[in-house]
A and B are shown apart, each in its own frame.
Chain A
Amino acid sequence: KQEVTQIPAALSVPEGENLVLNCSFTDSAIYNLQWFRQDPGKGLTSLLLIQSSQREQTSGRLNASLDKSSGRSTLYIAASQPGDSATYLCAVSPVYNQGGKLIFGQGTELSVKP
Chain B
Amino acid sequence: GAGVSQSPSNKVTEKGKDVELRCDPISGHTALYWYRQRLGQGLEFLIYFQGNSAPDKSGLPSDRFSAERTGESVSTLTIQRTQQEDSAVYLCASNQGLGAFFGQGTRLTVV
Contact = CB atoms under 8 A, between A and B. Distances in A.
B42 A102 contact: no
Contacts of A103: 45
Contacts of A107: 42
Contacts, number: 51
Contact of B42 (A43, A49, A106): A106
Interface of B: 31, 33, 35, 42-43, 45, 48, 50, 56, 91, 93, 95, 97-105
19 contacts: A34-B99, A34-B100, A36-B102, A42-B105, A44-B102, A45-B102, A49-B98, A89-B42, A97-B48, A99-B95, A100-B33, A100-B50, A101-B45, A101-B48, A102-B45, A102-B100, A104-B35, A104-B42, A107-B42
